[in-house]
Amino acid sequence: MQSGGRIKVGVLGATGTVGQRFIVLLSQHPWFVLHALGASPRSAGKKYKDAVNWKQTVRTPNGVGDMIVKECKASEFEDCKIVFSGLDADAAGDIESEFRSADLAVFSNAKNYRRDPHVPLIVPLVNPSHLSIIPQQQSLHSPPLKKGFIVTNANCSTTGYVIPLAALEKAFGPIELLLVTTMQAISGAGYPGISSLDIMDNVVPYISGEEEKIEWETLKILGGVTEGDDGIKSFDMHARHPLRVSASCNRVPVIDGHTECVSLRFAHRPPPSPQQVREALASYTPDAQTLGCPSAPRHAITVHEEPDRPQPRLDRYYQDGAGVSVGRVRQCQVLDIKFVVLANNVSIGAATSSIINAEYAVLKGVVGVEGEVEAAVANS
């Protein structure tokens, strides 16, 4: 522990877009303190300020620029209680597995382990209870683990719209049909991302693998954790009322903020009115907020009454991008209800989700910090 009793954490992929956002958020965190930064071998050994092409709208946090970048090896992070991964999928699989095997708690933004039957896929404002499968993940590892595990957060486009879905299912019961059309920001492609000649004055109606991710991730997130006769837990994506999802994904010339148009049909009849939907969305209070996770938004869902909101340029940084905005709630002439969602894809869609997941795990005792939580909370 460093002074102030805060919990030491590390960031993998620290020079990338998501890694930079992790650093901005963690530099101000009341419980966590940045202890180690990891990046590619070409960056290792350099001061962070010399290794990074800084693209955030704020300056590099004090003290971070002079930290020495390490290789992404577990031995370099052994003093950390928590490791956040902003690694690209090409590198994340083996590295995150190594860190887990070294008994480190890994909270990942990468896609590699989202389909793993023993790894929770968590949107912290929806299903943090899925952390309950971690003891099984540890026990089935060879050799069994005491502290190490992997938790993933969802794809940024899935995260944004599944939060209002959870609020509506809580209020009105299962959703059975769902259509979503996304208009996704270019930052979702990482840096340098898509060529300016391809995206300016244009909409690209294809993002590789994105539609498939939305369609199956939604089911895992909204589904249950069930236990079989053999005592083995699993994510039962059919434990809930069957849900069919159809997604269409587009890349648009917006820097940050994914906008999504959603139409849905409820299983129970008659369906709620648009006003009832607005009230349910506005009053939604997730467990992460109730428990006191410091990075959780004050309002998980901000409901706009204006006919032309939400808009990325106006609304993406509200609450530092930790919540989502919903507007244009109205009756759907084909299904039941339709609305527009805006989520900050590099905040709640990426780094912020991983950080709230870690906060929740700390408060629930999933991360073994042996009294350090009390010290961190007391000093926050």
Domains and CATH numbers, the chain: 7-154+351-378 (3.40.50.720), 156-344 (3.30.360.10)
pLDDT at position 140 over 80: yes
Active-site residue, from 29, 80, 130, 156? 156
Q: How many residues does the chain have?
A: 380
User: 301 near 322, Cβ under 8 Å?
Assistant: no
Torsional sign, CA 112, 320, 185, 340: positive
Question: Quick one: pLDDT at residue 48?
Answer: 97
Residue 293 falls in the annotated catalytic set: no
Give every strand in the sheet of 301-303, ordered side by side.
244-251, 175-184, 258-266, 337-343, 324-331, 301-303
CA 189 to chain centre: 16
| Average confidence (pLDDT) over 90-101 | 96
Q: For residue range 235-264, what is the model confidence (pLDDT) as tens digits? A: 877 556 789 999 999 999 999 999 999 999
Tell me the per-residue pLDDT of 165-186, one tens digit each, with 9 for 90 and over.
999 999 999 999 999 999 999 9
* Beta-carbon count within 10 A of 11 CB: 31
Q: How confident is the model at residue 1 (pLDDT cuts 50, 70, 90)?
A: very low
pLDDT tier, 370 (very low <50, low <70, confident <90, very high otherwise)? low
Q: Tell me the pLDDT tens digit for each residue of 307-349.
A: 999 999 999 999 999 999 999 999 999 999 999 999 999 999 9
What strands, in cross-sheet order, belong to the sheet with 149-152? 70-71, 32-39, 7-12, 82-85, 105-108, 149-152
Model pTM score? 0.95
The pLDDT tens digits for 295-305 are 999 999 999 99
The answer to whether 214 and 158 are in contact (CB under 8 A) is yes
Name every residue whose Cβ is closer than 8 Å to that of residue 311 and which is 6 or more positions away in sequence. 259, 342
| Rounded CA separation 193/184 (Å) | 12
CA distance 233 to 137: 10
User: How far is it, in rounded angstroms, from Cα 34 to Cα 8?
Assistant: 6
Position 4 pLDDT exceeds 80: no
As a whole number of angstroms, the distance between CA 288 and CA 91 comes to 30
Predicted local distance difference test score (pLDDT) of residue 68? 98
Q: Is 258 a catalytic residue?
A: yes
Q: Could you report the per-residue pLDDT of 345-355, keeping only the tens digit for each?
A: 999 999 999 99
Pairing of strands 258-266, 82-85: unpaired
pLDDT at 235: 86
How many C-beta neighbours within 10 Å does residue 102 have?
17
Any idea what DSSP says for residue 69?
P
Burial of 93 (0-12, 13-18, 19+ CB in 10 A): middle
d(CA 109, CA 116): 14
Q: Which of 35, 258, 299, 304 is catalytic?
A: 258
